[in-house]
Amino acid sequence: MLLARGVFAELRALEGDVGAREVLARHAGAVRQIEVDNPAVVTDIDTPEDYAGMGMA
């Protein structure tokens, strides 16, 4: 996911384990989706351990 600098403050203000979903919903008109054919592109990576588990570290 690529995010515009303009939403960084909103992302930093999020509390708890909610992810960026709330921010994306507020800016739904600016969201663009693209198709990809590589599963690594859409893998959720939240921790260094997640990244290491992909064999890319």
User: How many domains does one find in the chain?
Assistant: 1
User: What is the mean pLDDT of the segment spanning 31-50?
Assistant: 85
Question: Domain range for residue 47?
Answer: 5-53
Mean pLDDT of 39-49: 84
Ranking 6-10, 34-38, 40-44 by mean pLDDT, the lowest is 40-44
Q: Which residue from 19, 16, 40 is spatially nearest to 7, judged by alpha carbons?
A: 19
Question: Among 41, 51, 7, which Cα is nearest to 33's?
Answer: 41
| Distance between CA atoms of residues 25 and 21, nearest Å | 6
Average pLDDT along the chain: 85
